Amino acid sequence: MENIIQVDYLSKSFGKATVLNNINVSFSKGQIHGIVGRNGSGKTLLMKCICGFLKPTEGTVTVSGKVVGKDVEIPEDIGVIIETPGFVTNYSGYKNLKLLASVRGRISREDIEKAMELVNLDPKSRKHVGKYSLGMRQRLGIAQAIMENPKILILDEPMNGLDNDGVKHIRNVLLEMKKQGTTILLASHNREDISVLCDKVYEMDKGIIKEQKA
């Protein structure tokens, strides 16, 4: 199976503290890969290095055959939700996504509306994001990550703030995207998310990653 993300000898240090330690891992195309581990284990930092948001101290990240930080600054065709999404609070959800979509100019109004409807948000609502619940903000963040129909999705705790119905719905959205060939990296504290969704599971502990055997 083709590897779409390849991480080689990756380390990241802040001062004398090494937070990612000589990581070698690859993620196959078209699968959902779970990453589990305690807070501070390095999950989010690894995702930031893969996305090009953080430069490794040593090693390389290759996405779709291109070295991040050398061939491309940010990988192409990637959707991301890492930490709480930042939105303009006095804009509606649709207006926020329209603003973000205008950066690349790849998608239409219909694409934005479809992404919002997919996560059970009303694109015609004029409600400001500042009045959104935590769950609504999270759904808007997921809509932003998927609206350009990326080949790769990097999701750090995407179910935060969602009720049980919302969790089930977003799981179905992710499984449908997998069917369409999307590669998904998912960090979650919820073991049920991991067991329901993931083809492979990796555990991070003190900046080291290893695959869990089924």
Mean pLDDT of 149-168: 94
Cα end-to-end span (Å), the chain: 18
At residue 104, the pLDDT reads 83
Domain shared by 5 and 102, yes or no:
no
Beta bridge partners of 205: 208
Report residue 212's pLDDT band, with 50, 70 and 90 as the boundaries.
Answer: confident
State the DSSP code for 43: H
Mean pLDDT of 80-105: 90
Domain shared by 60 and 163, yes or no:
yes
Report residue 1's pLDDT band, with 50, 70 and 90 as the boundaries.
Answer: confident
- Domain range for residue 125? 85-149
pLDDT exceeds 80 at position 85? no
CATH number of domain containing 7: 3.40.50.300
Which of 38-42, 127-131, 136-140, 169-173 has the weakest average pLDDT?
38-42
pLDDT exceeds 70 at position 64? yes
At residue 167, the pLDDT reads 95
At residue 90, the pLDDT reads 95
At residue 105, the pLDDT reads 83
At residue 18, the pLDDT reads 93
At residue 139, the pLDDT reads 95
Domain shared by 10 and 73, yes or no:
yes
Domain shared by 36 and 61, yes or no:
yes
Whether the model pTM is above 0.85: yes
Beta-carbon contacts of 134 under 8 Å, excluding residues fewer than 6 positions away, are 160, 161
> In a 10 Å sphere around its CB, with 0-12 CB exposed, 13-18 middle and 19+ buried, how is residue 195 labelled?
exposed
Strands 32-36 and 200-205: parallel
Three-state SS for 84-130 is CCCCCCCCEHHHHHHHHHHHHCCCCHHHHHHHHHHCCCCCCCCCEHH
**Last residue of a domain, which of 149, 180, 196?**
149
Average pLDDT, the chain: 93
Which of 71-75, 89-93, 187-191 has the weakest average pLDDT?
187-191
pLDDT exceeds 70 at position 113? yes
pLDDT exceeds 90 at position 22? yes
At residue 189, the pLDDT reads 86
At residue 214, the pLDDT reads 56
> In a 10 Å sphere around its CB, with 0-12 CB exposed, 13-18 middle and 19+ buried, how is residue 75 labelled?
buried
At residue 143, the pLDDT reads 96
Domain shared by 3 and 64, yes or no:
yes
Beta-carbon contacts of 99 under 8 Å, excluding residues fewer than 6 positions away, are 88, 91
